[in-house]
Amino acid sequence: MAVVSRTRPGRPDPDLPLVLGHQAGAADAFTRLWRKYEPRLRRYFLQATRSDADADDLASDTFLAALRSMPRFSADGAGPDGGNAALFSTYLYAIARNQLSLWRRRRRRHPEMPLSLSGREGEDDLEAEVRPLASGVSDAELRDPSELLLEAERGDAICRALASLDSDAQFCAVLLHYVAGWTHEDVGQFLGARKESVNSRLQDGRRSLRRGIETFDPRAAPT
Amino acid sequence: MHSANDVPTVRPQRRLHSVRCDIPDRCDVRFTPVATPKTRPLLYTALLRLPDRIDWLDAPVAPGYVADLRVAGARAVGRSDEAAMRIPPGLRVPAGEAVRWSIAPRDAPSLRVSGVFRLVSAPERDRLDRALARLEDVADPEYRAVVSAIVQAQVGLYQDALGILDNLLARGGICGKLSPGPVAMLAHRAGLWVLRSMKAAAGADLSPSARKWMELRSAYHADAMAAVRAPESGRLGAEPIALSRLPSVGRSMCVL
């Protein structure tokens, strides 16, 4: 099993005690890992497949594969500072990515399978185009799984940051521009506001959003 | 600080012609009509079409009601034994014109409740349709719902906007990409925006009962947002608490 390693000097893998516990035979260690990662994996798969059923299946398959291969997972990649180079989350998402690749291959062989939740083709492309800020994990297969994990959490952080915009004018303009993908002119026309006013709201909103996202950024927070 | 039971709640619509509107006992908003198939009280809002009839909470000891509708110089007064009034077919309601209603128990005129609704004008309808069509490009259903609520409120469809947000909150996370907590925060934030927009647009048209309802509902959104944001269940994980704190269904206000 290929493991995508990700070095985080000075930060030990928070899952390592559970991994070692499972390897030592602790009954609930794997269950706790499952509880922690199942919702995230499900979100990851749902985003990639647009199908509840497929997301459920893929999450289950990923955990089954992880369970089978767990004895082979080791902390041998430990860095000189004691940090674990190969995080369990990275390892799990590498399995997830493999499962997703297999699913995509199967799907290509069976094109009669539904393409997306909404049945509209090209939605992935639209998402990346229309929501530059809140586009989340649309390009799932091409990116590092551990990055995707962080991005899923970042998606939540963006959502919270949007909700935390104090100014009503900013809130409305930011939603229409960054979430709905409207141009400054469209936003101004719809809200009956001048272009300069929209620009100013968006500029201020962007600053507030950035602050909000940094506040909630999981990379900045202790694990 | 009020409890969750103090706030007006609306049960999500289940079938097109069988809907309920629930308002807790201690809310002062009574005899407040709602329009089929909408579930929202018509305290101050625009509607896409004129309802056939309006219904309101049946006061337990009221012998009957007097309902009064005024629009564009015309007036319709109805006396009814039941908590409903059919809008007279001859009552002309031009789009954009305010329909001012008031309802009181026959034997207690001092308990009169009043409000305003109107039909969206053709330019507003056009603006709305064009905006909603553009939202189909928003891939994420949660974001799409929130922006759709904003767009509806922007043309005065405040109750429809709140309905969208209520449905989103009732469903929790529907797509799976976003966690329920952040989605709830965003929906509550949008709810606050809708209510503030409603208040600003209503100005002097806001009746005391509508003001009270708005205050309660705003407090509900603010409290719920604070609950989701609360650090008590972890930096990113207040979701179960937030959803469980959504107001419980009060007593049935009306069945259409």
The Cβ of residue A218 has, within 10 Å, a number of other Cβ atoms equal to 17
Q: Is the peptide bond before B180 cis (omega within 30 degrees of 0)?
A: no
Tell me what ipTM this predicted complex has: 0.72
- Residue A95: pLDDT band (50, 70, 90) is confident
B143 and A126: CB-CB below 8 Å?
no
Which residues of chain A have a CB within 8 Å of the CB of B149? none
- Secondary structure of chain A in the HEC alphabet? CCCCCCCCCCCCCCCHHHHHHHHCCCCCHHHHHHHHHHHHHHHHHHHHHCCHHHHHHHHHHHHHHHHHHHHHCCCCCECCCCCECCCHHHHHHHHHHHHHHHHHHHHHHCCCCCCCCCCCCCHHHHHHHHCCCCCCCCCHHHCCHHHHHHHHHHHHHHHHHHHCCCCHHHHHHHHHHHHCCCCHHHHHHHHCCCHHHHHHHHHHHHHHHHHHHHHHCCCCCCC
Using alpha carbons only, how large is chain A's radius of gyration in Å? 21
Report the alpha-carbon distance of residue A56 to residue A198 in Å, rounded. 42
Predicted pLDDT at B33:
54
Strands B98-105 and B65-71: antiparallel
Closest residue to B143, CB basis, from A55, A134, A160: A134
Closest residue to B178, CB basis, from A55, A156, A181: A156
* pLDDT tens digits, one per residue of A150-201: 665 667 778 888 888 889 999 999 999 888 888 888 999 999 999 899 999 9
B140 and A127: CB-CB below 8 Å?
yes
Closest residue to B236, CB basis, from A52, A138, A153: A153
Average pLDDT over residues A193-213: 86
Q: Cβ distance B166 to B13 under 8 Å?
A: no
Looking at chain B, the whole-number percentage of residues with pLDDT higher than 90 is 21
pLDDT beyond 80 at B106: yes
Measured in angstroms, the CA of B189 and the nearest CA of chain A are apart by 5
Q: Which residue of B has its CA nearest to A51?
A: B175
Sequence-distant (≥ 6) Cβ neighbours of residue B180 within 8 angstroms: B172, B173, B239, B242, B243
Helices B158-171 and B141-154 cross at an angle (nearest 10°) of 160
Predicted pLDDT at A44:
80
Q: Cβ distance A77 to A5 under 8 Å?
A: yes
Among chain A, residues having any CB pair with chain B shorter than 8 Å are 39, 42-43, 46-47, 52, 55, 117, 123-124, 126-127, 130-131, 134, 136-138, 152-153, 155-157, 159-160, 162-165, 168, 171-172, 175-176, 179-182, 186, 190-191, 216, 218, 221
Predicted pLDDT at A153:
67
A126 and B137: CB-CB below 8 Å?
yes
DSSP letter, residue B13: P
- Residue A47: pLDDT band (50, 70, 90) is confident
Average pLDDT over residues B154-160: 92
Which residues of chain A have a CB within 8 Å of the CB of B131? 190
Closest CA to B29 of B214, B237, B162: B214
* pLDDT tens digits, one per residue of A68-86: 888 777 766 543 344 445 7
Torsion of Cα atoms, B223 then B229 then B230 then B234, to 10° = 150
The neighbouring-strand residues paired with B70 are B75, B100
* pLDDT tens digits, one per residue of B193-212: 999 999 999 988 888 878 88
Q: Best-predicted range by mean pLDDT among A37-51, A151-165, A209-223, B142-156? A: B142-156
Ranking B44-58, B114-128, B231-245 by mean pLDDT, the lowest is B231-245
Closest residue to A159, CB basis, from B139, B182, B225: B182
Tokens 């305290």 appear where?
B43
B147 and A131: CB-CB below 8 Å?
no
Measured in angstroms, the CA of A140 and the nearest CA of chain B are apart by 12
Closest residue to A179, CB basis, from B131, B138, B176: B138
DSSP letter, residue B31: S
- Residue A102: pLDDT band (50, 70, 90) is confident
